[in-house]
Amino acid sequence: MTQGNFGIWDLVPGLLLLGAILLVGSLWFVRKLTKALPQGSNRNLWYLLGGLILLFFTGYLGFYYLQYGERYTKTEMLVAFIFFFGAIFVLMVTMLASHTALELKRIYTLEQETITDPLLDIFNRRYLDRRLHEETQRSKRYKLDMALLMVDIDHFKRVNDIWGHRAGDLVLQHLAQLMVTVVRDTDIVARFGGEEFVVILPQTREEDAYQLAERLRHAVEITPMLMASENGSPELNMTVSIGCACLMTNDIDAFALLERCDQAMYRAKQGGRNRVARCTCSEPEDDSEKTC
């Protein structure tokens, strides 16, 4: 064999060992992905892939030791090169999968930050406006029921004046968490501004929306918040006034519905607070059901 051929033969064991190292790197990326994934079939498939890579790695080492100190034939040299480039392929696939998953997670986090109120961990006004428009258009297009609630904390200014703005933030957080637990999973809770909240109720009839609003009002009334102080932890009782409105065929857009819901909420406050007022689509039975 010529000196040039001997040089290529001498390169093969190094390629096999380098390929094995690349496979170890692939296993590191697989481990990084499986730690980030929740329990489930997707995570199990990545475990399976890790097992196959480990089996591939064992084959590398086995081929290397079987040929250790022996002269490689042309066929064996071809197998060694295929093994090496196979290791490069596996490393690139796992590395790109890991980097893509991290990038998607970063994008998702940024999107969540743009649509989430940082203090209350519920949707913000930007997301509310978008979803309100989308749900209104969808409901009008497919002739679906839709309702809206506007919730305002009664005498919220007193909380800030007596307990301070930090206590006001805690009250807002308390109410936001309570609202999320009371409404349905399909409902959308968002901060409208200040101490006002809006709940979008897709595919919800007027009477069902009114009953949900009453449940929410009652839950707030019977669920005080503990306020830590030097004298212990006194209970801070709060109430809310809620406006309820349903989508009507003559509503021009989503903001027409929002305006009627806002009017109902103010009527609830004017009627004594701690109550639900609605802009009904049918004949009202009393002033709390006045048509807006």
Active site residues: 195
Q: Is 181 exposed, middle or buried (0-12, 13-18, 19+ CB in 10 A)?
A: exposed
Distance CA 115, CA 193 (A): 14
Which residues sit opposite 123 in a β-bridge?
116, 190
Distance CA 38, CA 162 (A): 45
Lookup result for tokens 């007027």: 206
Distance CA 29, CA 101 (A): 11
Which residues sit opposite 147 in a β-bridge?
201, 246
> What would the two tokens of residue 195 be?
């101490």
What ranges make up the beta strands (E) of the chain? 146-153, 188-193, 196-202, 225-226, 235-236, 240-246, 276-279
Contact between residue 246 and residue 205 where contact means Cβ atoms under 8 Å apart: yes
Distance CA 239, CA 223 (A): 9
**Nearest Cα to 152, choosing from 273, 258, 271, 279?**
273
